[in-house]
Amino acid sequence: MTESTVESVALRAREAAQDLALATRAAKDAALYAMADGLVAATDAVLAANGEDVSAASGNGIPEAMVDRLRLDADRVAGMADGLRQVAGLPDPVGEVVRGSTLANGLELRQVRVPFGVVGIIYEGRPNVTADAAGICLKSGNAVLLRGSSSARRSNQAIVSVLREAAASTGLPADAVQLVPGEGHEPAKALMRARGLVDVLIPRGGAGLIRSVVEESTVPVIETGVGNCHVYVDKEADLDRALDIVLNAKTHRPSVCNAAESLLVHADVADAFVPRVVGALQEAGVTVHGDDVFAAHDGVQPVTEDDYAREYLSLDIAASVVPDLEAALRHIRTYSSGHTEAIVTRSQDAARRFTAAVDSAAVIVNASTRFTDGGEFGFGAEIGISTQKLHARGPMGLPEMTSTKYVVTGDGQVR
């Protein structure tokens, strides 16, 4: 039954995707502006639905931090609307000619960006993802099937209802944006099995969600977001700069995937740097989980293998002294999740070796790991940060939400 329900929304999405693929930028932008205006106008209805979700969550004993992520207010609704307007302002990726040439036989070859078709998004928590994802998918010409968490069900329904009506009011198909209906885990599982109907699935959420989608999906998946990010302080680091970078990477926003989770310090600068960085981190409220050198300082917890591998997402950091750059590279190779690693160094050779040898989505020299972000990279919108190597790696903006096709024109060529 669930499978057929998901199949029926997916079939409607495919129909809508045919129209969306051919929609002009002007038509898509008009829909995005109408969606933004619609959300602002419907603020009361959205907040009423959200209030019911928040009450139910509080009643269910869901932790306060999670209830807080669920909670909307008028500012957050206005923020969703602003996000949609920003996406309207971005260039349309569809139709971009990625490469082109004229072949020896006169055939004209062009590789052109086209939408995927139907994109499935499985996500947890914050209802603003609903509007963000719908906007990015619509602008890139894709129909979207949204599967949010059940705790945000009423909020998501209210938001999607506004978005659908706005799309339809400008002449685009309402089915460009649909929620996947149904209770429990089955609808998400049916979405993962909808190969042929859904072109790509993007899970956004914790490591457990992402792992289950990757393992169970027959639809192609873009894996996002788990970040066990490292900062390596080289023997030739400017130590003032290193201190700024470590503190920023760890404490600026510890709950996000581009926050630093591990600190590696070259042995030659350990005496000069370890006391300073431990003091500064502790002053900022960070618990340091360190090796022997670090643990000689008051308040430092002994580090475990598990600490090295963890994405804390909290004011904790694993810390270790390494004998040289190669040992830092081995440590990163062993424990990194492939998201972002940074080196602090004045040495051109060390920077070159680090950027060549580290196999992560982003490798940063002399700056905070916090810069791995679609907004910071200037993409204007971001659907997530891919930590896989296929299709897209790193922050994904609008072009990453497209495929391509080859258009070949001739005048009768045969082989």
Pairing of strands 287-290, 316-322: parallel
For a copy of itself, the binding residues in 65-124 under the rule CB under 8 A are 101, 103-104, 107, 109, 111, 114, 116-117
Task: Among 140, 149, 178, 368, indicate the residue that binds a copy of itself (CB under 8 A).
Answer: 368
Single out the segment in contact with a copy of itself by CB under 8 A; choices: 67-75, 154-162, 214-222, 304-312: 214-222
Pairing of strands 394-396, 384-386: antiparallel
Would you count residue 214 as binding a copy of itself (CB under 8 A)? yes
Helix extents (H) in 96-127: none
Question: How far apart are the C-alpha atoms of 377 and 397, rounded to whole Å?
Answer: 10
Single out the segment in contact with a copy of itself by CB under 8 A; choices: 30-38, 152-160, 218-226, 271-279: 218-226
Spatial CB neighbours of 51, under 8 Å, sequence gap ≥ 6: none
Would you count residue 363 as binding a copy of itself (CB under 8 A)? yes
Taking the least distance from each CB to a copy of itself, the nearer of 26 and 107 is: 107
Would you count residue 208 as binding a copy of itself (CB under 8 A)? no
DSSP 201: E
Task: Among 155, 248, 262, 387, indicate the residue that binds a copy of itself (CB under 8 A).
Answer: 248
Would you count residue 169 as binding a copy of itself (CB under 8 A)? no
Helix (H) or strand (E) holding 169: helix 153-169
Q: How many residues belong to the site for a copy of itself (CB under 8 A)?
A: 69
Name the β-bridge partners of 231. 263, 342
Single out the segment in contact with a copy of itself by CB under 8 A; choices: 53-61, 71-79, 164-172, 388-396: 388-396
Would you count residue 377 as binding a copy of itself (CB under 8 A)? yes
For the beta carbon of residue 189, count every other beta carbon within 10 angstroms. Answer: 17
**41 token code pair:** 């106008």
Taking the least distance from each CB to a copy of itself, the nearer of 74 and 107 is: 107
Residue 117 in contact with residue 143, Cβ under 8 Å? yes
Would you count residue 394 as binding a copy of itself (CB under 8 A)? yes
Residue 320 in contact with residue 308, Cβ under 8 Å? yes
DSSP 205: S
| Residue found by looking up tokens 């499978």 in the block | 3
Question: How far apart are the C-alpha atoms of 250 and 317, rounded to whole Å?
Answer: 7
Would you count residue 21 as binding a copy of itself (CB under 8 A)? yes
Which residues of this chain interact with a copy of itself, rule CB under 8 A?
18, 21-22, 101, 103-104, 107, 109, 111, 114, 116-117, 195, 199-200, 214-215, 218, 220-222, 238, 241, 244-245, 247-249, 252, 333, 351, 355-357, 359-368, 370-372, 376-378, 388-391, 393-394, 403-415
